[in-house]
Structure 1
Amino acid sequence: MGMSYRQYLQGARIYGCSSCKTHLATIHSMISRAFNGQHGRAYLFDTVVNVVEGEPSDRQMTTGNHTVRDIYCVKCGTTLGWKYDRAYEPTQRYKEGKYILERNLLTDVQ
């Protein structure tokens, strides 16, 4: 299988995987802090790096039905959140292509 290539981020605040500290996103790619994940508070990001996407599945969430993919850390495999593929409610379409990272699965990396 070999080693996986990982991208390293630069910026004022970098979020990483709480298990292995692999860089995931910067504060500048954060869209909102007003989200909930499966394990508590979560953040919505425009771009996330160093993740592997799972298979798409339809889920009923508090804001309606969505097609999402779980995302995993490329280094340690920890489940970090999900990516929105499709939102069925017109008011939720802004989430399509965006990522949810759960706060308790993140750490600040510097």
Structure 2
Amino acid sequence: MGRLFVINLEGRMYTCKHCQTHLAVYSDLISKSFHCRTGKAYLFDKVVNVTTGEKEERMMMTGVHTVVDTFCVRCGSLVGWRYETAHEKSQKYKEGRFILERFKVLGPDGSAYSMGHEDHISGSEVDEV
């Protein structure tokens, strides 16, 4: 098990839904408007306390991306993925950045996100198929 980073920013952090391990801080949040298999997702510049899986190519709504899944370092839960390579020029801004699936994390106020009907609506911001 790797070194566990503890962040204390008075409620401005995102944590693993299962074990409340700190994963990200609000100041590293880039976008709240991503979608994935389980509904909405957050795009972060930096995430801590995760381990990564193997690189794989995934076809997403915005094109082919090379990604690695990210897992909570404490409990091993799949919490999202990191973009390694974006093959479309317009998607290069995602490289090195992280997706945290809202359904798998607790928000800055400690609340859990629950998937609703609106999460199944697709559109230009939908990222993973």
Instruction: Name the TM tier (shorter chain).
Output: over 0.9
Q: Distance in 2 between matches of 1:47 and 1:68?
A: 15
Q: Which residue of 1 aligns with 2:16?
A: 17
- The worse-fitting range, judged by mean Cα deviation, of 8-17 and 44-53 is 8-17
Q: Distance in 1 between matches of 2:96 and 2:73?
A: 19
Q: What secondary structure sits across from 1:92 in the alignment?
A: helix
Q: Distance in 1 between matches of 2:107 and 2:88?
A: 33
Q: Which residue of 2 aligns with 1:88?
A: 87
- What's the CA shift for 1:25? 0.2
Query: How many residues get paired?
Result: 108
Unpaired runs of 5+ residues, structure 1, are none
Q: What secondary structure sits across from 1:93 in the alignment?
A: helix
Q: Distance in 2 between matches of 1:108 and 1:91?
A: 29
Q: What secondary structure sits across from 2:3 in the alignment?
A: coil
Matched, 1:100 2:99: yes
Q: Which residue of 2 aligns with 1:33?
A: 32
- What's the CA shift for 1:68? 0.2
- One-letter amino acid matched to 2:56: S
Please tell me the root mean square deviation across aligned C-alpha atoms, in Å.
1.4
Q: Which residue of 2 aligns with 1:7?
A: 5
TM-score under structure 2 normalisation?
0.80
Runs of 4+ in structure 1 deviating by more than 3 angstroms, as ranges, are: none
Task: Decide which structure has greater strand share.
Answer: 1
- What's the CA shift for 1:4? 4.1
CA offsets, 1:18-61, max 9 Å, x none? 00000000110000001012200000000000000100000000
- One-letter amino acid matched to 1:77: G
Q: Which residue of 1 aligns with 2:67?
A: 68
